[in-house]
Amino acid sequence: DIDNVGRKYHLKLVLEDIVEKDNIVNCTAEILYHLDNTNAAPDVHFEIEGELKNTEEQDNIFYNRIKSLKKELAAQNIPDSHGNMPPEMEPIRLLAQAAAGYVVWQNSTENTRYELAQIKHVRQLKRSDDYLEFDYMVLLHEFVSQEIIPWQMTVLWHPQHGVKVTQNSRQPKHAEH
C-alpha cells in the first residue's frame, strides 16, 4: 500500500504463447492501482527475460492475404458456438486478442478480470494508406461479476508498426438477453 497513491503489486509471472504452447517467457512486472480516480488505468511496468517470438513471416503472409482481397473482410461469431472457426480467421482472432488486451488494461481494477469471449462481428474498413483497419464488436467476459459486456473496438495494424486501438467503447446490453 502506498499512502494517498494506491496499491502496488510486484509480480513474477510466466507468459505462454497461445499459439505455440511450448514457447514460454519469464516476466516480472509492477502494477500500480490508483486510489483516486478509478477511471485511470493501472500503471504497468514490465521486463521480459529474453525475447518474444519473431512472427514477421506469418505477419507478412496475413498482411498480403488481406491486402489482396477483392472485397473488404467481414465476418461474424468468431469462434462460433462450438468453438470452431475457419483457419483463415485465426489471425483475425489473435488481432482481436491483442487489441482487447489494451481495452482490458484501460478498464482494469483490483476487482476485475476480463477475458475476450467472442468476436460478434468484424469488418474491414477501407484505407488509402498501408495500414489495415478493422472495426470489431466483441464480447468481454468479466469474471467477478460474470457479466458479458459488448465492446466496440477500432483497430489499426501494420506488420512493422504493430497494433493500435484508435477507438473503443462499452456497448449497452439488452434486457432480456
Partner 1 sequence: HQVLRIKASNEEQIQKLQLLETLEHLQLDFWLNPSSPALPVDVRIPFHSLQAVKVFLESNNIKYSILIEDLQVVLDEEKQDMAFSRQRERSTNTFDYGTYHSLASIYEELDNLAQEHSSIVSKLTIGESYEKRPLYVLKFSTGGTNRPAIWIDAGIHSREWITQASAIWIARKIASDYGSDPSVTSLLNKMDIFLLAVTNPDGYEFTHTENRMWRKTRSRNQGSLCIGVDPNRNWDAGFGDQFLLCSLSVLTGPGASSNPCSDSYHGPSANSEAEVKSVVDFIKNHGNIVAFLTLHSYSQLLMYPYGYKCTKPADYTELDSVGKAAASSIHSLYGTTFKVGNICSTIYQASGGSIDWSYDYGIKYSFAFELRDTGNYGFLLPASQIIPTAEETWLGLKTIMEHVRDNLY
Chain positions 103 to 122 lying near partner 1, rule: CB under 8 A, are 110-111, 115-118
Chain positions 29 to 68 lying near partner 1, rule: CB under 8 A, are 33
Cα separation, 29 vs 47, whole angstroms: 6
Work out how close the CB of 131 gets to partner 1 at its nearest, in angstroms, rounded to a whole number. 27
30 and 44 in contact (C-beta within 8 Å)? yes
Q: Which residues lie below 8 Å from residue 164, measured CB to CB, with a gap of 6+? A: 155, 156, 157
Work out how close the CB of 147 gets to partner 1 at its nearest, in angstroms, rounded to a whole number. 5
Residue 9 β-bridge partners? 31
DSSP 81: T
Annotate 139-162 with three-state secondary structure: EEEECCCCEEEEEEEEEEEECCCE
Chain positions 76 to 105 lying near partner 1, rule: CB under 8 A, are 79-84
Work out how close the CB of 13 gets to partner 1 at its nearest, in angstroms, rounded to a whole number. 13
Question: Contact between 7 and partner 1 (CB under 8 A)?
Answer: yes
From edge to edge, which strands make up the β-sheet containing 43-48?
A: 6-16, 24-34, 43-48
Work out how close the CB of 8 gets to partner 1 at its nearest, in angstroms, rounded to a whole number. 12
Residue 5, C-alpha cell as written in the block: 497513491
Question: Contact between 13 and partner 1 (CB under 8 A)?
Answer: no
Question: Contact between 12 and partner 1 (CB under 8 A)?
Answer: no
Work out how close the CB of 175 gets to partner 1 at its nearest, in angstroms, rounded to a whole number. 5
Number of residues that bind partner 1 (CB under 8 A): 26
ω into 86 cis (within 30 of 0)? no
Q: Give the interface segment with partner 1, choosing from 62-70, 125-133, 137-145, 151-159 (CB under 8 A).
A: 137-145
Residues found near partner 1 in the complex (CB under 8 A): 7, 18, 33, 79-84, 110-111, 115-118, 139, 141, 143-148, 175-177
